[in-house]
Amino acid sequence: MNDSIHTFDGISEFVTTVRTGSFTAAGEHLSLTGSAVGKSVTRLEKRLQTKLLHRTTRRLTLTPEGQRYFEGWVSLLDGIQGLEDDMTSGTGRISGRLHIHLPAAFGRRHVMPLLMALTREHPALDLSVHFTERRVNLIEEGIDLAVRIGTLADDAELVARPLGYQRLVICASPDYIAKHGKPASADELNKHDCLVGSRHNQPSTWLLKGTAGTTRTQPVRVRHEFSDGDALLAATLAGAGLAQLPTWLVHEHLASGALIPILEDYTGAEMPIQVIWPRTRYVKAGQRTVIDALTREAEQTRSIYRV
């Protein structure tokens, strides 16, 4: 029997394990048990006579040989996917599953409606959407595209398309101000209860824009920390402290008086919003459809990216 028929044995299990980080997670993705995935990868290593993964009780890590093997198969799989997309692109039919990562509050409010509209327009388009503020490795985790807020590090493996900016404002509820007063200067932020997003063991600072248009960071005293923008907004409305929040999240509450702007002389610092995707030879038709739709929406005069 020709051994070439076994060329693909274990490849899906191996690539999915690397992308998800564990045999168990790969099994959930492939509708297999974690044990079955592990055994399949072990058989692949035996066939190749090469160790691909270091296994410990806590984590899996690629060997140098495993890293080359993984990158090679990802490139091949991208080519296969691109070939299939080329075959279907002429039909105008968008199909397949897209893996998308979005910032939680922004994604739920401003990207999900667009995605749902696209799935109605393209019934064969399936989505796997994750809401997280965590900076994930798109290539290793098999993510087709992500929306990121903030400055991106230079990465030759990624393509980024700017969508716009989010403008930041410091605010608090009337109840908090009645009890604690307003800070008279930026330095007094160290004397107030400040609410922040997840810091990941980093010092907490806010971006402040000065009169000359320059932006600087200002340390703040953290009272509460939240991993979700909607939770941060809810705590601010409840009078738990001061928060620096994007205008797309709070403009209605500022207009109604439920939140009061603080230190307005420093308001206006901006953070870029971008859609990013892995740099590959082929871009899936579904990827291209979502990217183009996000870009069109961002270019609208009344776009949320311009609030």
* pLDDT at residue 49, rounded to an integer: 92
The pLDDT tens digits of the residues spanning 208-258 come to 997 777 899 999 999 999 989 999 999 999 999 999 999 999 999 999 999
Helices 11-20, 64-89: axis angle to 10 degrees equals: 100
Q: Which residue has the higher pLDDT, 109 or 141?
A: 109
Q: Give the ranges where 96-246 is alpha helix by DSSP (H).
A: 104-106, 112-121, 174-180, 229-237
Q: Pull the structure tokens for residue 116.
A: 């749902």
Q: pTM higher than 0.85, yes or no? A: no
Give the tokens for residue 21.
């980080």
Residue 1 pLDDT > 50: no
DSSP SS3 for 224:
strand
Does 4 score more than 60 pLDDT? no
Residue type, 116: M
Give the mean model confidence (pLDDT) for residues 282-299. 90
User: Mean pLDDT score of the chain, rounded to an integer?
Assistant: 88
Q: What is the three-class DSSP state of 210?
A: coil
Instruction: List the one residue out of 187, 141, 165 whose CA is nearest residue 25.
Output: 141
Nearest residue to 169 (alpha-carbon basis) of 247, 105, 239, 221:
247
Instruction: Report which listed range, 23-27, 75-79, 100-104, 197-201, is most confident.
Output: 100-104
Per-residue confidence band for 91, with pLDDT thresholds at 50, 70 and 90: low
Residue 42 has pLDDT above 70, yes or no: yes
Please name each of the domains of the chain with its CATH number. 3-85 (1.10.10.10), 91-164+271-306 (3.40.190.10), 166-270 (3.40.190.10)
Q: What is the pLDDT of residue 92?
A: 60
pLDDT average, residue stretch 72-81: 74
At 88 the pLDDT is 56
